[in-house]
Amino acid sequence: MSKKIFLPESDLPRQWYNVMPDIPNGLEPPRHPATGKIIAPADMQAIFPDALIEQEMSDRRWIDIPEEVLRILAIWRPSPLVRADRLEEAIGAKARIYFKNESVSPAGSHKPNSAIPQAWYNMKAGIKNLTTETGAGQWGSSLALACNFFHLGCLIYMVRCSYEQKPFRRSMMKAWQADVIPSPSDTTQSGRSVLAKDPACPGSLGIAISEAVEVAAGRPDTSYALGSVLNHVLLHQTVIGLETKKQLDLAGEGLPDIVIGCCGGGSNFGGIAAPFIPERLGGAKIRFIGVEPSACPTMTRGHYTYDYGDNAGLTPLLKMHTLGSGFVPPGIHAGGLRYHGMSPIISALVREKLVEPVSYHQLECFEAAVVFARTEGIIPAPESSHAIRAAIDEARKEENTGKSIVFNLSGHGHFDMSSYDRYFDNEITNFEMPDEVLAEAAKSLPKFGFEQNG
């Protein structure tokens, strides 16, 4: 048995896999935020370049990865698949556990897999600047890295409480030449209207998205880039699962029995899971488990309906699992999982019962993270610890004896050590999300008269 399964650079995937045409009963189209009508591709041209709009709606199964994108991805890809034998021994696992190590990218997570192609397509379209939002700072640093390579300006609205708590993520963005503004800010209409109501507002992803979209919509040389949720982002992340497939073959495993990922907007989980969907539809008994925090229970307790992606209602309406765009998630430590919605692709896979959603509290995830750090050596991101928790629990089940489990290690936790300190000092508590809070947030769901299926 070898510990790590490496692929040569020549095995870097040359095409992304688009799962959209393979989703039973398909996806429902995005709708216009003001009218509720199905939107045309042209409606998105104010903020996205044509190539990405095309990918967002594409029904082609395979889409070529541009050479210049491959050249940058090759800095860290193919990423290793690792047999977690030391973790297996420590927890008395009955199943074999593998993890795909996406923490080896320069930004420390899977997010550059999409930041690089998004920046490249924008550069090709003649765009000079990108705007975006960032919560914990993972997406902001990934887009800063990508813009740096392709000589684009990068303006990042960073959720104010993270801006104050995570100064080193900010420093990373500066090292890669991005400008970082704490959100809500007085640089946009959306930011000013939030500040007028609450000058001390700690910010949220929904508010920061509104600010970034507003700036991009108002400047012809500027586009917006989103780090998760959208179809083209999940498409770019499929390099993870495509490599994993080859690596499991090399390890003599063939198809895995269980595929696990943590879910914020759904992109790293979609990236590892989607390439296995054709085999599952062909009859292979693969289980797909998407793990979310109990404090932000989008798939397990949310509604499957059309909703805005942001707080001000500027983004298209997407059919997805959502808690309502007015939901402000509690300050749990897995910042990247604090989002009110879920990718339409993952939501549709949940609808079709192809993906099983589960939720965990943060305390049990930190416990799993520390076991992982002390056996496999890598200190995981608090987000990734949700996948580790689920992998440990599945591996211990009698019914999974002799099976294989693969989970995505979406990132490392080197910039989250203050959260670990709080865990070591017994200051981390679980958050029971009351029904009343969810019911209140659901009042922010848009009310349109169109027919909704499913």
Ligand X SMILES: *Cc1c(COP(=O)(O)O)cnc(C)c1O
Taking CB under 6 A as the rule, does residue 411 contact ligand X? yes
Residue 101 within binding range of ligand X, rule CB under 6 A: no
How many helices (DSSP H) and strands (DSSP E) are in the chain? 19, 15
- Residue 378: CB minimum distance to ligand X, A: 12
The minimum distance between CB 342 and ligand X, in angstroms, equals 8
- In order of 238, 239, 277, 389, the CA distances from 65 in angstroms are 11, 10, 20, 33
Given the complex with ligand X, which of 222 and 411 has the nearer CB atom? 411
Does the protein bind ligand X through residue 162 (CB under 6 A)? Answer: no
CB atoms closer than 10 angstroms to residue 453 = 8
Q: Is 266 in the site for ligand X (CB under 6 A)?
A: yes
Closest separation in Å from C-beta 219 to ligand X: 26
| 410 is a contact residue toward ligand X (CB under 6 A) | yes
**Per CB under 6 A, does 118 bind ligand X?**
no
Burial of 100 (0-12, 13-18, 19+ CB in 10 A): buried
Q: Write out the H or E segment, with its range, that includes residue 436.
A: helix 435-442
The correct pick among 131, 204, 222, 384 for binding ligand X (CB under 6 A) is 384
Closest CA to 131 of 208, 227, 212: 212
Give the binding range for ligand X (CB under 6 A) out of 83-91, 155-163, 356-364, 378-386. 378-386
Spatial neighbors of 245 by CB under 8 A, at least 6 apart, are 275, 276
Using CB under 6 A, count the residues that bind ligand X.
Answer: 18
Sign of the alpha-carbon dihedral angle for 108, 113, 116, 122: negative
Between 296 and 433, CB nearer to ligand X: 296
Strands (E) located in 3-105: 4-5, 15-17, 62-64, 81-83, 96-101
Our finding on whether 138 is near ligand X (CB under 6 A) is yes
- Mark the segment that binds ligand X (CB under 6 A) among 171-179, 198-206, 263-271, 324-332: 263-271
Task: Mark out the alpha helices in 251-361 (DSSP H runs).
Answer: 267-273, 277-281, 298-301, 344-351
Closest CA to 156 of 143, 172, 171: 143
- Which residue among 248, 263, 296, 433 contacts ligand X (CB under 6 A)? 263
**Cβ 371 to ligand X shortest distance, Å:** 18
Among residues 212 and 251, whose Cβ is nearest to ligand X? 212
Q: Is residue 293 close enough to count as binding ligand X by CB under 6 A?
A: no
Q: In whole angstroms, how close is the CB of 282 to ligand X at the nearest point?
A: 26
Q: Give long-range contacts, CB 8 A cutoff, 24+ apart: 248-256.
A: 248/5, 248/81, 248/98, 248/404, 248/406, 250/5, 250/7, 251/2, 251/5, 251/81, 251/83, 251/98, 253/96, 253/98, 253/404, 255/279, 255/284, 255/286, 256/98, 256/286, 256/404, 256/405, 256/406
At 87, phi and psi to the nearest 5? Answer: -65, -45
User: In sequence order, which ranges of 160-290 are alpha helices (DSSP H)?
Assistant: 160-165, 167-175, 189-197, 205-218, 231-236, 238-250, 267-273, 277-281
Q: How near is the Cβ of 232 to ligand X at its closest, in Å?
A: 13
> Nearer to ligand X by C-beta: 264 or 316?
264
Work out whether 228 is an interface residue with ligand X (CB under 6 A).
Answer: yes
Binding mask 300-339 for ligand X (x = CB under 6 A): ------------------------------------xx--
C-alpha angle 28-33-36 in degrees, rounded to nearest 5: 60
Residue type for 242, please?
L
Nearer to ligand X, 35 or 418 (CB): 418
The verdict on 111 binding ligand X (CB under 6 A) reads: yes
Among 13, 78, 203, 265, binds ligand X (CB under 6 A): 265
**Identity of the residue, 118 or 138, whose beta carbon is nearer to ligand X in the bound complex:** 138
Nearer to ligand X, 70 or 226 (CB): 226
Q: Least distance to ligand X from the beta carbon of 252, Å? A: 29
DSSP code of residue 149: H
CB of 264 to ligand X, least distance (A): 3
CB of 136 to ligand X, least distance (A): 6
Cβ closer to ligand X: 19 or 381?
381
Angle at 270 between CA 68 and CA 444, to 5 degrees: 115
> Can residue 241 be called a binding residue for ligand X (CB under 6 A)?
no
Binding of ligand X at residue 340 (CB under 6 A)?
no
**341 DSSP 8-state letter:** B
262 binds ligand X, rule: CB under 6 A: yes
Q: Per rule CB under 6 A, is residue 267 in the interface with ligand X?
A: yes
Return the number of the residue (188 or 241) whose C-beta is nearest ligand X.
241
Q: Which residues bind ligand X (CB under 6 A)?
A: 109, 111, 138, 228, 262-268, 336-337, 381, 383-384, 410-411
